[in-house]
Chain A
Amino acid sequence: MDTHTPETGSQAARSAWMRVLALADGAALDQAYQALGPLPAFRPLRAPEVGMTMVRGRAGGTGEQFNLGEMSVTRCAVAFEQGVVGTAYVQGRSLRHAEQAAVLDGLLQMDDWYEAVQTIVVAPLARVHEERRARRAAEAAQTRVEFFTMVRGEN
């Protein structure tokens, strides 16, 4: 799986919303999901299942790949009547989170649901995630240490 393949516009957009759905807090996602009201019928293509995946890292982006460790992942795929398939891969063991993320991924691929799901679910969750990221970055920034070398005047 080559992560360096340039993504086309629709792929990048889908990656972006799948990321938001996967990183969302489970309870917040559930709340937003319920707020959507009645959804079109879907059937499970791959019922939510828990497994493990090896997370690999690369120091500095140029070093050799190494195995960082395993994490549990829950995945799910659902199919809607129109033939649209929604997929989700979510960290952790929450079956409901994976299923809801897969359903929302499917809805976001439908023209008549895109706007509603973006407004009610994706945008607020993305905002919460961004705020959380900014807060953590600010906390970490307090401990930031600048290293510099003083030029010794030896001339």
Chain B
Amino acid sequence: MNPAVTQTNPQPHPHAHPRAPTAPTARAAAPVTNLLPGFADPGVQAQAVFRVALQAMAEPGQPQALAADCGVPEGLSPALAALLLTLADVDTPVWLPAGMDGGAAAFLRFHCGCPLVDTPAQASFVVVPAGHAAPDLADCNGGDPAYPDRSTTLLIEVAGWQGGAMLRLAGPGIADERMLAPIGLPADFWRQWAVNHRRFPQGVDVLLTHDRAVCGLPRTTRVEA
């Protein structure tokens, strides 16, 4: 009996290191063009970005600066690229708008190894870069009543934190109220948000990004115009 050792690793092993290299794929010798580097020091940098994302969710409506020292593929902002390098992996399906060219998709496949899905409802992370329409929040996965954490998180790039309609945010993580006026969200986004808020404990969470900053909008946040 000779154990024919294969180097496959099709399923994450419970004891496997979270950033375990996957087995080699014999790719065609065709060169992958214009692939950008990810984090130079993935462990430390991803932890720093994750800490900022936690802070953003703990203080809804408060933009947090992000150290986004990584390659930024065309179409994504530095904050989007850094958040995806931090959050997305082989277990988190990602949805990208149909109009995106291959650069961002190739970047995510190479560095995160995440599956790219066609419908927002299948995705753990829905990515909406600048210039693309965000899907309806009701079309994303609001989680299961027993597992509301299995919901979609949307990463939406906005054109700025000030200058849009002024909104009053309240809820957990906000002492009294917090004002935010992001530009570049879909016209009926806040109507959708009110519906999403009422679905608690189900519903989706949103991370708004702009350039090198991120602002959290968990499902618990109430928004008044």
Of the candidates A3, A49, A83, A109, the one whose C-beta lies within 8 Å of that of B42 is: A49
Partner-binding segment picked from B33-41, B59-67, B143-151, B185-193: B33-41
Q: For the complex, would chain A's binding face be called helix, strand, loop or mixed by DSSP majority?
A: strand
B-contacting residues, A57-105, CB 8 Å: 57-61, 65, 67-68, 70, 73-75, 77, 79, 82-85, 87, 89
Q: Does A41 contact B (CB under 8 A)?
A: no
Does A34 make an interface contact (CB < 8 A)?
Answer: no
Contact indicator B40/A47 (Cβ below 8 Å): yes
* Interchain CB contact under 8 A, B40 and A68: no
Contact (Cβ within 8 A) B3 A44: no
- What is the CA–CA distance of A1 and B25 in the complex, to the nearest angstrom? 7
Q: In the complex, which residues of chain A have a beta carbon less than 8 angstroms from the beta carbon of B20?
A: 51-53, 73
Docked Cα-Cα span, A12 to B26, in Å, equals: 8
Q: Is A84 within 8 A of B38, CB to CB?
A: no
Do B21 and A55 touch across chains, with their CB atoms under 8 A apart?
A: no
Q: Is the CB of A45 within 8 A of B24?
A: no
Contact B2 A55 (CB under 8 A): no
Q: Do the beta carbons of B16 and A18 come within 8 Å of each other?
A: no
By beta carbon, the residue of chain B nearest A16 is B26
A136 CB within 8 Å of chain B: no
- Complex Cα gap A55–B26 (Å): 17
Q: Are A51 and B8 in contact (CB under 8 A)?
A: no
Interface residues of A (CB under 8 A from B): 1, 3, 7-8, 10-15, 18, 43-47, 49, 51-61, 65, 67-68, 70, 73-75, 77, 79, 82-85, 87, 89, 109
